[in-house]
């Protein structure tokens, strides 16, 4: 085991206290077991605590041959003090969808990372990747070869390309999954490998798929293309279970509120009155739902999972354009396809995606997210580019300003007018 | 065996990653890569574009068997969700926290636990918690005891159990000073400090509804804090420096100029010991500290220990439950950076959490509560001074203007 | 006499207009002006800046006496409001419609009625209705009979009674072809046609809440239709003509160019029989037909009988009752001009009114009803085709985008 | 009586039918009684019906000496056919506030208008003026002299100046007037005569005053400065009257819904549940209101005028910036002063107004409404210019974007930083 040098890190050490898992303790242990990078990282972090500033240099373009993404270059700006992390590049590994692992998988990747990297990771990155934190430039190709040959797994995305798609656990464990999120995301990731590894877009593009409107992967806030499960038939009702909830035999919301006394469960107060569309009512002992008025918000189902379930004619709602604030301000995704079946190989959906990408690659400015293009060129332009029909579901409410565009074709007589003719009717 | 599996195999069976058990069974060969990779023939032996390993192979047996056939769930205790399938099968999902920033040693410990109680399988959640699956009561009890027993030398839990239901679950966060080049604040130390303080709420179901906290260390918002019940955001407050000597060497001036959403950056020429040099100048009055210039140009750093700090936003949400998704709203424009424990930030968040918890209705998210009582009342109850910084003055500002006579009297009007 | 009056007198007694009874008592001298006004000495004998006559002198006695002392009101029948003062005094306000566009003959008739039943006083409302005040039951009855009896030769009522409570009151409107230079449609003929059709609702309290209709004959919106339950808006759909010959003579080109909010107007030069002339050109694709260029430049007319027509907006309101004030929203982008009776416009509005009336809750304004059932359902129920023209693409468009999975199934999704 | 020429106007004539007052019939009668202008106007209107276009020429600057407003120039573009309306200027007469008149007033103005104008009017214009429609240029000064000498009244506004202020009937008849709207508007009109008659602003500016939040003069939608009455103490409750309403002895909403069967009055459903803040409840037979939570929307008062009344500590809420769409889109007024006493000569309010005007005249572009300036330069700038304090009541909700401006003074250590110092800590 190599000689390791521990720095004085009083401020970091304070973070070993307290019940929440201490990353400092974890990293220090690993360091003392022989990983100088870990101790140097804590040392540099201590310096950042002192200066209240980061000590990483700006950027640095590094990567593996043939790929335009998957690696984030990082260099310390105080390398003399912390030589082992002078290079500290990140490798983004495409996670298995749903983030399930076998112990064998985990052990093998740990071995690779102990040997070729810092031994530190993020499980997981905000986009969903397994993030291997900190390695040197000369190790990048070997790491890539180890991953592809010895684990048969690949890198995730970075830069102006498709980013690693992500999903909720979906059908693997959740009773509410209206679409097979894992299968969908797996298929899209495989289908779009080229877009994922080779920058061809104006900026980054993200897919996220949630199995129902609870949106456990935050698709509506964090994906340029949000795929969210829904249904178009009726909520399934088990009236005996409804009665059981009313009788207090089953805990509301699966027990999610159990540690506080909220009083006896009151279906009127807690479900019917909170339904955003007020489309539920009791008829004697039976719960009724006017499904045509239901907006599938999931509340009643969330509260009474043993009594209510989504319908069986399921598919996805597609929303586009979510992003963080840089530059034009944050966006949530906007509804563009109210319902689309997500089966087989998702060809209809993929056609839609390519029409979107064609438009964006043609018109998008450098570092303009798709959502920003949509705002700049309008939903009307999106309709033209995708062949979608305008429907009221795309907007919260109709426009309040009267500034409508018309084309010459739409207007009787067109736009060619003759001044002389006009002045014949109207003296100047 | 399994119908679903057969279908997937039909579609994806040829992908190298569809079944990686064989390669995984082989020991790691440290020398292989160097043997295969030849810098002069980079394409030789290169495998690329294979994508992720197929998910199905990593599901615990009971999940494989009941894939898509789950019927309902019960949270039997904080952190433990019991799932029942149409088949009658049941499984317990046990959720425990992680710091997200974790070492291979700790991951190996996770693997070891998975082998002991979960047939060797485990998963991570979308919020960086870890989930183990026990297919019997007995295994569940043993698993829970084991998890509770594991601590770091300093005494913190390795795998605290909780994060379900109306709790305060793990904080979605970002790199901070541990790895990024643009942060205004650190990430991991803030998360540790806040969760140490709120720990009691991670392992209990005492909140009116789920409370989702997120942190992003700069305006890029990799933590996607823009839709969180409570958001911790790192901000800069000093305009970028301009390094005239090196700027032309390290970035394209037109790109730097174009980077500014407010057009605050203009090309300029300076004299440096006698010779004219092209550079840029920043109209500091117009700078809103977004940091986009630094992202595009290394010679325009914003970071400054004195100027940087924390902004707090609240009231965002993502789910479509009852109310529609909402953006977080800026309620505190600045709190100084206080590493390592960020005590002012911790105190502020505690106050918001307690006030919300004491006043909101069951099932009511923080933002829905604030909207219901009115923001004037929110600031009053939470004892947060309202400043002009909370008034929008960006692109869509008008839509936040208050165009009605409907408002409540509050400390703000009492003191006029 | 009256304390309030004394106070006003103290403050404003010296203003010429404070008490004009004396000048009013004198007969009109047609020759006086010419005697006083000398074009060569314009300031001679000129009285200016005296402002309006003081309001108090025109109040009926019972209103003077109880000024600021009113206690409550009852609408005893449509168009008749009984007010009771703290003093116990009561007065009946009788509201009747006018076309707003009225002649001196008709005004004299109003004066005559005022003298007969109302001590010579009368008022107009903020929506162009006329209000007479009767201070006894007897006068009230006589007044009502008299008003009902007065008709024009063609048979229309001169003073139909109504416009109170949950009725459809008079239409706020503008000049149209009767006096303005920028209209896309007429005003008075549209109002007459719509109110003929909705007449039954003017004189009754059958609506779920008040329904306020407004008309503006161009986007300038002098009728302030932007916050009405139902708005009738005149729109152009052909870009401005450019009269190269005269433009430089009649307007400043830079002003014309600057007039366009979308920068669709650019300076240009043309050759007119041999000589170069400065003028402008319009990028017609970018024109949104706002008409601001014509307002600034007479040589850029937009009016075109074929292109112009009616747009319908609904769901606006002004009062702060229950919900906050709302903008009207564009639901029908275009209906052709059909003078004199505008039948398609009339039919459309009737359909909207009937659907609203049949479906909304008591006290629920049209826009609140539409928001409650969802706009997809509004279009469905009213049988109005949804077009892309109703989707905002102006400055604040994003805030109208639908960023949730919450929506209702409707004909629009059924037919996908 | 002069010979009059009647044109063939079949389309106009159709508008004599139907119950609603027929402007055509009215105008034709006046025409036949000797007013050629009336018949020519109908003739030209008929032509407009045919062409579906207006037949008035663009603009025309006319007026009276020393005033920059009050008259709108109008010329027919078919004067040969309709000579009597070749000129057809409008004269805007400042209405008495509240629009009350004596018959003597009406008769005298009718005499003037018959003699010097077309005999046609608008009662009233959208801004509130008495609008005298149609006269010739040479009559403008005589009309002005007649109005000022023989009626002691003045013109209203037009052009880029203060427009004729307007109000609801307020205390003259309405029990809910929290401010004396007529007195306020009268005072402002008198105080700002110079601004009203002489263009000094970038564009038009309008005041409207409503006595309570019902806003019967549409101030919040139609005035650059909206003055709306409110109260800051408690809603006055007469519990016996409440009981009477509940017993069905008094018609709800003063009978405003009387012609339709809405069922028996239900205070819970119709008042308490509809209260936007849910700050009302019944305690046995007594109605309770938590006034601190009340937003004074007027609903409960509107429904039970004999039981509930506004408080007695009254004043106004001031909102700024309403306007029609041209150019940046329509605006409603934004709350800037939550409560201000409106008594005496309103000096505090007038000081506020001058600070607003100073800012606008300094910074406003040509034809930029005040509301547009507010949007362009921010509420923060409004606070600086007026000395008002930032309060949450000014916004629907706090900003969601993080793009906050800071000044060097606000930031520890200021903005002067030394690159060399920075690079000492951070190697490039
Ligand atoms: C590693 C990660 C944060 C983390 O700790 O997990 C990350 C890290 C960085 N992000 Fe991010 N982003 C990460 C997820 C996100 C997300 C969240 C998400 O994907 O759900 C967002 C917000 C959603 C979105 O896409 O808008 C996000 C929005 C940004 C932005 C702003 C983009 C925008 O349009 O607003 C930038 C700025 C940029 O692209 O130049 C950015 C840029 C960056 C850079 C590359 C810094 C830079 O200026 O170039 C960071 C590198 C840090 C480092 O040293 O490793 N990152 N970034 C996440 C990726 C890990 C992974 O692959 O799983
Ligand atoms: C495991 C996870 C999905 C995954 O693929 O990893 C998950 C799992 C479940 N979610 Fe979730 N949600 C998960 C992230 C989310 C997110 C995303 C996020 O927080 O970034 C959201 C949106 C958050 C938001 O709205 O801001 C989310 C909003 C919900 C909701 C809506 C709650 C609400 O009141 O709005 C439900 C319904 C409920 O809790 O009753 C829900 C319900 C559930 C259920 C009950 C679904 C089921 O039947 O299995 C699961 C257990 C709930 C629990 O924890 O009590 N899940 N859930 C994620 C666990 C995160 C964690 O470790 O804490
Ligand atoms: C006479 C007039 C004021 C004036 O100075 O001229 C007036 C008079 C009254 N209004 Fe009004 N309102 C008058 C224009 C308005 C306007 C302005 C407008 O329509 O342009 C509004 C705002 C309209 C809007 O919200 O879009 C208005 C919104 C109200 C409301 C709120 C109704 C609602 O449901 O939102 C009330 C309360 C009520 O009706 O119960 C109200 C109540 C009243 C009361 C009951 C006040 C009172 O106690 O005297 C008066 C009789 C009501 C009635 O007609 O049944 N008044 N009222 C105006 C008559 C217009 C007309 O001739 O039809
Ligand atoms: C006469 C009147 C309409 C009516 O039939 O009652 C009117 C008539 C005109 N308005 Fe207006 N406006 C009239 C009230 C309004 C209102 C309503 C109000 O004041 O409550 C508005 C909307 C509120 C507002 O101020 O925004 C209004 C918004 C406009 C605009 C758009 C201003 C804007 O900033 O959006 C213009 C265009 C302009 O100023 O060039 C305009 C311009 C005009 C002009 C002068 C036409 C022009 O392009 O110059 C019209 C002269 C017509 C004529 O031949 O007599 N008029 N104008 C109203 C004035 C009568 C009076 O003094 O009582
Ligand atoms: S999004 Fe819906 S389907 Fe997916 S995990 Fe959450 S609740 Fe289950
Ligand atoms: S899903 Fe939501 S909208 Fe639909 S019935 Fe249940 S609560 Fe109501
Ligand atoms: S939020 Fe900013 S600082 Fe933090 S990781 Fe993302 S880009 Fe880096
Ligand atoms: S920080 Fe943002 S606003 Fe400031 S100069 Fe840089 S790009 Fe412009
Ligand atoms: S709305 Fe337009 S056309 Fe009508 S009066 Fe006003 S300016 Fe003239
Ligand atoms: S009508 Fe409006 S948009 Fe069109 S050219 Fe004229 S000013 Fe520009
Ligand atoms: S605004 Fe208020 S005070 Fe004025 S008339 Fe209407 S209800 Fe009465
Ligand atoms: S005025 Fe409005 S908010 Fe206040 S108590 Fe009455 S209904 Fe409620």
What is the Å distance from ligand 2's center to A214 Cα? 7
What is the Å distance from ligand 5's center to C230 Cα? 42
- Which residue's CA is minimally distant from atom 3 of ligand 9? C183
Alpha helices per DSSP H over D89-223? 103-116, 140-145, 181-191, 193-197, 219-222
pLDDT of residue D2: 58
pLDDT of residue C224: 78
Integer angstrom CA distances of residue D278 from B321, B404, C321: 22, 18, 14
**Interface with chain A: mutation pick from C226, C402, C413, C414, highest number of A CBs within 10 Å:** C402
* Contact status of C398 with chain D (Cβ, < 8 Å): no
Ligand 7: does its nearest atom lie under 6 Å from the Cβ of B182? yes
DSSP string, B323-354: SPPB--EEEEEEEE--TTT-HHHHHHHHHHHH
Of all atoms in ligand 3, which is nearest to the CA of residue C75?
Answer: 55
CB-count burial class (<10 Å; 0-12, 13-18, 19+) for B115: middle
Q: What residues in B contact D375, CB-CB < 8 Å?
A: 397-398
Q: Which residues contact B3 (CB under 8 A, 6 or more apart)?
A: none
Low-confidence ranges of chain D (pLDDT < 50): 1
Token duo for residue C396? 């604040």
Give the number of whichever ligand sits closest to the CA of residue B255: 8
Integer angstrom CA distances of residue B176 from A7, A53, B185, D176: 20, 10, 6, 58
Distance CA D360, CA D368 (A): 9
Check: CB of residue A7 under 8 Å from CB of residue A41.
no
Distance from CA of B413 to the nearest CA of A (A): 31
Integer angstrom CA distances of residue D357 from C51, D321, D353: 21, 12, 6
Distance CA C39, CA D384 (A): 48
Closest chain C residue to the Cα of B402, Cα to Cα: C324
Check: CB of residue D16 under 8 Å from CB of residue D22.
yes
Distance CA A407, CA A390 (A): 17
Integer angstrom CA distances of residue A99 from A208, A363, B128, D309: 14, 35, 10, 62
- Check the CA dihedral B35-B39-B44-B45 and report its sign: positive
Cβ within 8 Å, pair A398-C238: no
> Chunked in runs of 10, what are the mean pLDDT values of chain B (416 residues)?
92 98 98 98 98 98 98 98 98 98 98 98 98 98 98 98 98 98 98 98 98 98 94 98 96 96 97 93 98 97 98 98 98 98 98 98 98 98 98 97 98 90
Distance CA A225, CA A208 (A): 7
Alpha helices per DSSP H over A117-251? 140-145, 181-191, 193-197, 219-222, 239-246
Ligand 6: does its nearest atom lie under 6 Å from the Cβ of A277? yes
Tens-binned pLDDT, residue by residue, of chain A (428 aa): 458 999 999 999 999 999 999 999 999 999 999 999 999 999 999 999 999 999 999 988 899 999 999 999 999 999 999 999 999 999 999 999 999 999 999 999 999 999 999 999 999 999 999 999 999 999 999 999 999 999 999 999 999 999 999 999 999 999 999 999 999 999 999 999 999 999 999 999 999 999 999 999 999 999 999 999 999 999 999 999 999 999 999 999 999 999 999 999 999 999 999 999 999 999 999 999 999 999 999 999 999 999 999 999 999 999 999 999 998 999 999 999 999 999 999 999 999 999 999 999 999 999 999 999 999 999 999 999 999 999 999 999 999 999 999 999 999 999 999 999 999 999 99
Check: CB of residue C97 under 8 Å from CB of residue C129.
yes
Cβ within 8 Å, pair D400-B304: no
* Chain D adjacent subunits, 3+ CB pairs under 8 A: A, B, C
Q: Which residues contact D93 (CB under 8 A, 6 or more apart)?
A: D109, D129, D130, D131, D132, D147, D153, D154, D155, D156
Q: Which of D114, D218, D259 sits opposite C206 (nearest CB)?
A: D259
Closest chain C residue to the Cα of A316, Cα to Cα: C405
pLDDT of residue A26: 98
Nearest to A155 by CA among A188, A193, A122: A193
Distance CA B378, CA B229 (A): 14
Distance CA A289, CA A233 (A): 12
Query: Counting one residue from B and one from D, how many pairs have CB atoms under 8 Å apart?
Result: 192
Give the number of whichever ligand sits closest to the CA of residue C292: 10
**Interface with chain B: mutation pick from D405, D418, D420, D421, highest number of B CBs within 10 Å:** D405
Check: CB of residue D270 under 8 Å from CB of residue D303.
yes
- Which residue's CA is minimally distant from atom 3 of ligand 10? C287
Instruction: Characterize the bridge pairing of strands A207-210 and A225-231.
Output: parallel
pLDDT of residue B1: 56
Check: CB of residue A156 under 8 Å from CB of residue A92.
yes
Check: CB of residue B96 under 8 Å from CB of residue B130.
yes
CA torsion, points D337, D341, D345, D347, in degrees to nearest 10? -40
Token duo for residue B306? 């004195």
Angle, CA of B350, B352 and B355, to the nearest 5°: 105
Nearest to A162 by CA among A137, A139, A129, A133: A129
pLDDT of residue B382: 98
Integer angstrom CA distances of residue C171 from C95, C162, C179, C202: 14, 13, 18, 10
Distance CA A392, CA C379 (A): 8
Low-confidence ranges of chain C (pLDDT < 70): 1
> Helices (H) and strands (E) in chain C — how many of each?
14, 12
Distance CA B279, CA D357 (A): 41
Cβ within 8 Å, pair B391-D401: no
Check: CB of residue C314 under 8 Å from CB of residue C213.
no
Q: Which residues contact A135 (CB under 8 A, 6 or more apart)?
A: A87, A88, A89, A91, A116, A117, A118, A143
Stated pTM of the model:
0.98
Per-residue pLDDT tens over the stretch D367-398: 999 999 999 999 999 999 999 999 999 999 99
Integer angstrom CA distances of residue D195 from C16, D191, D208, D357: 19, 9, 16, 10
Ligand 11: does its nearest atom lie under 6 Å from the Cβ of D231? no
pLDDT of residue A3: 82
Ligand 9: does its nearest atom lie under 6 Å from the Cβ of C128? no
* Contact status of D269 with chain A (Cβ, < 8 Å): no
What is the Å distance from ligand 7's center to C405 Cα? 29
What is the Å distance from ligand 7's center to C265 Cα? 44
Distance from CA of D426 to the nearest CA of A (A): 5
Query: Counting one residue from A and one from C, how many pairs have CB atoms under 8 Å apart?
Result: 193
Distance CA A90, CA A257 (A): 40
Q: Which residues contact A32 (CB under 8 A, 6 or more apart)?
A: A4, A6, A39
Token duo for residue B31? 């020398």
Nearest to C111 by CA among D153, D104, D133: D104
Beta bridge partners of residue A122, listed in sequence order: A131, B101
């Amino acid at each position: 085991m190599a000689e390791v040098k521990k720095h004085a890190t009083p401020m970091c050490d304070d973070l070993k206290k307290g019940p929440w898992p201490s990353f400092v303790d974890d990293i220090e242990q690993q360091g003392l077991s022989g990983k100088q990078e870990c101790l140097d990282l804590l040392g540099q972090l201590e310096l950042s605590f002192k200066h209240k500033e980061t000590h990483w240099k700006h950027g640095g373009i590094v990567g593996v041959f043939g790929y335009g993404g998957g690696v984030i270059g990082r260099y310390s700006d105080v390398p003399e003090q912390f030589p082992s992390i002078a290079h500290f590049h990140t490798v983004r590994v495409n996670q298995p969808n749903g983030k399930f692992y076998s112990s064998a998988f985990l052990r093998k990747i740990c071995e690779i990372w102990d040997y070729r990297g810092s031994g530190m990771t993020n499980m997981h990155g905000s986009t969903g990747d397994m993030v291997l934190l900190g390695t040197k430039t000369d190790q990048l190709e070997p790491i890539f070869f180890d991953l592809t040959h010895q684990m048969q797994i690949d890198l995730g995305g970075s830069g102006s390309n498709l980013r690693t798609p992500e999903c909720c656990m979906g059908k693997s464990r959740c009773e509410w999954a209206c679409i097979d999120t894992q299968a969908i995301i797996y298929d899209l990731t495989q289908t779009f490998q080229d877009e994922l590894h080779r920058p061809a877009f104006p900026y980054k593009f993200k897919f996220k798929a949630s199995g129902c409107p609870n949106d456990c992967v935050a698709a509506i806030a964090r994906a340029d293309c949000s795929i969210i499960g829904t249904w178009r038939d009726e909520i399934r009702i088990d009236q005996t279970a409804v009665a059981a909830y009313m009788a207090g035999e089953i805990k509301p919301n699966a027990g999610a509120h159990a540690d506080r006394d909220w009083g006896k469960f009151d279906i009127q107060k807690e479900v019917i009155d909170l339904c955003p569309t007020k489309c539920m009512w009791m008829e004697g002992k039976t719960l009724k739902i006017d499904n045509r008025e239901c907006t599938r918000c999931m509340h009643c189902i969330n509260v009474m999972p043993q009594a209510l379930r989504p319908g069986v004619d399921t598919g996805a709602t597609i929303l586009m354009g979510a992003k963080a604030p840089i530059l034009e301000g944050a966006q949530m995704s906007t509804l563009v396809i109210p319902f689309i079946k997500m089966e087989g190989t998702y060809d209809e959906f993929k056609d839609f995606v390519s029409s979107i990408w064609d438009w964006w690659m043609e018109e998008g400015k450098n570092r303009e997210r798709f959502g920003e293009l949509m705002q700049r060129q309008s939903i009307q332009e999106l309709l033209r580019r995708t062949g979608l029909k305008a429907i009221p579901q795309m907007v919260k409410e109709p426009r309040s300003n009267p500034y409508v565009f018309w084309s010459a074709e739409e207007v009787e007589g067109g736009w060619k007018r003759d001044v002389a003719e006009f002045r014949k009717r109207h003296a100047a | 065996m399994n119908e679903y599996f057969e279908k997937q195999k039909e579609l994806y069976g040829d992908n190298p990653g569809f079944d990686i058990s064989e390669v995984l069974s082989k020991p790691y060969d440290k020398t292989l890569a160097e043997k295969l990779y030849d810098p002069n023939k980079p394409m030789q032996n290169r495998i690329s574009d294979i994508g992720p390993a197929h998910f199905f192979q990593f599901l615990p047996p009971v999940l494989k068997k009941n894939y898509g056939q789950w019927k309902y769930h019960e949270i039997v205790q904080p952190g433990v969700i019991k799932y029942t399938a149409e088949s009658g099968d049941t499984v317990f999902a046990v959720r425990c926290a992680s710091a997200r920033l974790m070492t291979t040693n700790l991951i190996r410990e996770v693997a070891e636990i998975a082998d002991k109680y979960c047939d060797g399988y485990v998963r991570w959640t979308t919020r960086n918690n870890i989930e183990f699956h026990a297919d019997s009561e007995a295994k569940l009890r043993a698993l829970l005891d084991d998890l509770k027993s594991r601590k770091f030398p300093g005494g913190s839990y390795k795998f605290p159990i909780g994060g379900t239901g109306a709790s305060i679950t793990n904080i979605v966060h970002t790199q901070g000073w541990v790895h990024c080049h643009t942060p205004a604040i650190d990430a991991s130390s803030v998360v540790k400090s806040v969760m140490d303080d709120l720990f009691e709420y991670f392992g209990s179901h005492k909140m009116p509804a789920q409370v989702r906290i997120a942190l992003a260390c700069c305006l890029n918002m990799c933590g996607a804090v823009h839709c969180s019940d409570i958001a911790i955001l790192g901000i800069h407050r000093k305009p970028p420096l301009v390094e005239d000597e090196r700027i032309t060497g390290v970035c394209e001036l037109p790109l730097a100029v174009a980077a500014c959403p407010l057009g605050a950056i203009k090309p300029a020429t300076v004299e440096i010991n006698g010779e004219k040099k092209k550079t840029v100048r920043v109209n500091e009055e117009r700078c809103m500290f977004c940091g986009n210039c630094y992202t595009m140009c290394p010679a325009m750093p914003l970071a400054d220990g004195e100027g940087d700090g924390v902004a707090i936003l609240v009231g965002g949400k993502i789910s479509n439950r009852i109310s529609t998704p909402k953006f977080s709203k800026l309620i505190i424009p600045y709190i100084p950076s206080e590493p390592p424990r960020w005590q002012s930030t911790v105190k502020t968040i505690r106050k918001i959490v307690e006030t919300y918890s004491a006043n909101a209705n069951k099932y009511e998210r923080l933002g829905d509560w604030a909207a219901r009582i009115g923001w004037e009342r929110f600031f009053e109850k939470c004892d947060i001074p309202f400043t002009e910084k909370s008034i929008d003055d960006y692109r869509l500002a008008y839509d936040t203007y208050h165009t009605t006579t409907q408002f409540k009297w509050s400390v703000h009007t009492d003191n006029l």
